[in-house]
A and B are shown apart, each in its own frame.
Chain A
């Protein structure tokens, strides 16, 4: 065998061993790579499925977003229109506010005028009230004066009546005295039982009380007393009427019954007309 052939055999053997090792390692690595590749392919398939799902969800979401976007655009359009309406309303309201401000200022001026007018009326009312008070005080004073004058007139009327009665009694007394004088001239003697005034004297210790007060149509006052002929009372006897405060009037017996009599008031003390009432004491002498 040639030496070259031997060298070639050795080189071929060495290369064969090296190729075998390389082939083993390469085959094992390729197998691992294939397994890895298979796993990756499966993962890619799963990932693709997930991606498809996500894409479908994204598509649905996109559609819903598109619909929502269209709705939002419609709402935006409506809001823009509403905004325009509100702006016009706002401008109109601002104009109204301005007009109301003007009206308020006008009303304030009118209120000031009304206040001034009311103050004027208040002053007038106060003056009228003062004047009315003065008039009322004057009217009251006049009424008081009228009352005083009426009282004075009544007093004077009472005095006049007393004077009239006194005058009439004096006239009667004059007539009686003239008659007595004539009788005395005719008989030559006077009546012993009559008093100096022409009236009979009441019995000594005579005492009675008034039971009724009447008014004579002629104007004189008649009194009914609880004593009569049983008490030795006779017509034309003079009696005195006494009240709680003392002497009130003088009276003359007009009509005598058994237990009662009617007397006529001849003299009434001034200012004591109203004290003639039931219960007054009737005395023969004071």
Chain B
């Protein structure tokens, strides 16, 4: 019932959601993840296969093919 937004009689009055410390920690974690994704993406783009397109090579591997790095 509680999950349906209904309040049972006699139940403690539901308090409205508010920003707390966890929200802040989560925001920090999200920022760190975003920074990590950017840095790993940039570096992965540097070591990805040269045959693939730009920014796509970051998520592709060389496999059994000989290593061919992009020029930049």
Contacts and interface: CB of A to CB of B under 8 A. Distances in A.
A32 B67 contact: yes
B17 A33 contact: no
Interface size class of A (residues with CB under 8 A): 20 to 34
B34 A36 contact: no
B35 to A, nearest CB: 10
Interface in A218-268: none
A9 B26 contact: yes
B17 A2 contact: yes
Interface in A1-60: 1-5, 8-9, 11-12, 15-16, 18-19, 21-23, 25-26, 28-30, 32-33, 35-36
A32 B37 CA distance: 21
Given A28-B61, A29-B48, A36-B67, A15 B30 contact: yes
Specify which of A3, A28, A30, A32 lies most central, judged by the most chain B CB atoms within 10 Å of its CB: A32
A2 B58 contact: no
A187 B17 CA distance: 251
B40 A26 contact: yes
Contact of A4 (B23, B29, B66): B23
Given A12-B26, A12-B33, A28-B62, A33 B69 contact: yes
A12 B29 contact: yes
Interface of A: 1-5, 8-9, 11-12, 15-16, 18-19, 21-23, 25-26, 28-30, 32-33, 35-36
Given A12-B29, A15-B33, A25-B48, 5 more contacts: A5-B26, A15-B30, A15-B37, A23-B40, A28-B62
6 contacts: A2-B18, A2-B20, A2-B23, A4-B19, A22-B44, A25-B44
